[in-house]
Structure 1
């Protein structure tokens, strides 16, 4: 512990697999069992160092949602998408959250 009594253990960082730009932290993972088409993914409450594309309606495995694609702000690699609007109440927990495809991010300590 540090002098303030806080733990010195830090949360794992996630970065772009291509350029190592830090994108998110482990503490912001909402769900680890997301599926993005044929890819596994994480759902994050917050991400950083990304650019969002325009919001578009897209039919996904779980139905229709308004999403914006998310790209790394350094190398412009597409990493996933952000839920801008959900049409079914059962999916309201996704609103404002970002899906990052696991194969597009890497952990860094």
Structure 2
């Protein structure tokens, strides 16, 4: 196996919980305000292992194969994403949304909250007040 090259991000970052490799910038987190504008309602992403968050970009990842996945919001073509350093699964990337109302997700990344930490090495928590849920990957 060859040498692994990783990108070090500057600013507030979110890292792999297992090896601390940078995965995303806080600036790439899809904010609640823009999410509300996109879907017209407050929703949260969920996965098999708990809450997850939508990002515009992610780095230091590798992709699994594309697969069709039925989620509560409809059928999507997705690829699981893995930390390039330790190989742990950290989320998925939306490749294609088959429903017009879900097209805003295409090309975006979902990182699972339980598998990332913030730059201060503490657990990553965003407003955890109860909300409506667009439960994903059930």
| TM-score where L is the length of structure 2 | 0.68
Please say which of residues 38-47 and 26-35 is displaced more in the overlay.
26-35
The answer for unaligned runs of 5 or more in structure 1 is 1-9
Is the aligned partner of 1:50 residue 2:61? Answer: yes
User: Deviation string for 1:10-51 (max 9, x for gaps)?
Assistant: 742000000000000100011563222451111000000000
Is the aligned partner of 1:105 residue 2:112? Answer: no
Out of 68, 86, 94, which is 2:79 matched to? 68
Is the aligned partner of 1:19 residue 2:19? Answer: yes
1:4 corresponding residue in structure 2: none
Is the aligned partner of 1:40 residue 2:55? Answer: no
Quote the Cα distance in structure 1 between the aligned partners of 2:83 and 2:49.
21
RMSD between aligned residues: 1.5
Between Structure 1 and Structure 2, the one with more strand by share is 1
The answer for unaligned runs of 5 or more in structure 2 is 1-9, 33-43, 121-138
Runs of 4+, deviation exceeding 3 Å: none
CA contact under 8 A between 1:37 and 1:61: conserved in structure 2?
no
Aligned residue for 2:27, secondary structure, equals helix
| TM-score where L is the length of structure 1 | 0.85
CA contact under 8 A between 2:49 and 2:114: conserved in structure 1?
no
Aligned residue for 2:57, secondary structure, equals coil
